[in-house]
Chains A and B, each alone.
Chain A
Amino acid sequence: MKTLRSAFPRHLFLAVFSILMIYPVIWWIGASLKKNSEMASSSLWPATPMWENYTKGWNFSSEFSFTRFFANTLTMELFNVVGGVLTAALVAYGFARLSFKLRGMWFGILLATLMLPGQVTIVPQYILYNNFGLTNSYVPLVLPHYFGGGAFFIFLLVQFIRGIPKDLDEAAKIDGASVYGIFFKIIFPLIKPALVTTAIFTFIWAWDDFFAQVLYLSSMSKFTVGLALRSFIDQFEVQWGQLLAMSLLSVLPSTIIFFLAQKHFVEGITTTGLKG
Chain B
Amino acid sequence: MASATSYDLEKPSLWKKKKNNYSTNLAGYVFISPWLVGFLLLTLWPIGQSLYLSFTDYPLLADPVWVGADNYKHIFTDDPLFIKSLGVTFTFVLFAVPLKLIFSLLVAMVLVKAMRGMNLYRTAIYFPSLIGGSVAVAALWRNIFGLEGYVNEVLSWFGIVGKGWISNPDFALSTLVLLNTWQFGSTMVIFLAGLKQIPAELYESSSVDGASKVRQFFTITIPMLSPVMFFNLILTVIGSFQMFTAAYIITNKGGPINSTYMYAVFLYEKAFKHYQMGYASALAWILLAIVGIVTALNFFASKYWVYYENDGGDEK
Contacts and interface: CB of A to CB of B under 8 A. Distances in A.
Q: Do chains A and B touch in the complex (CB under 8 A)?
A: yes
A115 B313 contact: no
Contact of A22 (B124, B133, B186): B124
16 contacts: A94-B29, A98-B31, A99-B15, A99-B16, A104-B6, A120-B54, A159-B228, A159-B231, A160-B197, A208-B133, A210-B134, A258-B130, A266-B118, A266-B196, A269-B196, A272-B201
Q: Which of B13, B284, B310 has the most CB of A within 10 A?
A: B310
Contacts of A183: 31
B271 A120 contact: yes
Interface residues of A, number: 113
Contact of A255 (B127, B193, B228, B288): B127
Interface in A40-61: 42
Interface residues of B, number: 111
B189 A200 contact: yes
Interface in B220-253: 224, 227-228, 230-231, 234-235, 238, 242
B94 interface: no
Contacts of A238: 135
A185 interface: no
Given A115-B238, A147-B37, A243-B135, 15 more contacts: A23-B150, A98-B31, A104-B6, A104-B7, A107-B7, A116-B47, A119-B280, A119-B284, A120-B54, A120-B281, A121-B43, A155-B235, A160-B197, A193-B193, A265-B192
Interface of B: 1, 3-4, 6-10, 12-16, 24-32, 34-39, 41-43, 45-47, 49-50, 53-54, 60, 110, 112-115, 117-128, 130-137, 139-140, 143-144, 148, 150, 182, 186, 189-190, 192-194, 196-197, 199-201, 224, 227-228, 230-231, 234-235, 238, 242, 264, 267-268, 271-272, 277, 280-281, 283-285, 287-288, 291-292, 295, 308-310, 313
Nearest to A183: B31
A147 B43 CA distance: 10
A255 B128 CA distance: 10
Contact of B295 (A115, A180, A262): A115
B47 A100 contact: no
A222 to B, nearest CB: 20
A254 B309 contact: no
Nearest to B25: A100
Q: Which of B32, B119, B150, B194 has the most CB of A within 10 A?
A: B32
Contact of A160 (B36, B182, B194): B194
A100 B27 contact: yes
Contacts of B281: 120
Contacts, number: 315
Contacts of A38: none
Contact of B31 (A10, A93, A105): A93
A263 to B, nearest CB: 6
B14 A173 contact: yes
A192 to B, nearest CB: 9
A121 B49 contact: yes
Nearest to A248: B136
Contact of A7 (B1, B42, B115, B193): B115
A267 B193 CA distance: 10
Nearest to A250: B134
Nearest to A246: B136
A107 B31 CA distance: 13
Contacts of A271: 199, 201
Given A113-B47, A154-B35, A208-B132, A104 B60 contact: no
Given A113-B47, A117-B267, A121-B46, A106 B32 contact: yes
A135 interface: no
Nearest to B278: A120
Contact of A101 (B4, B132, B134): B4
A138 B31 CA distance: 26
A16 B223 CA distance: 31
Contacts of A15: 121
A204 B130 CA distance: 7
Contacts of A31: 139, 143
A89 B110 CA distance: 28
A17 B124 CA distance: 9
B39 A201 contact: no
Interface in A134-150: 143-144, 146-148
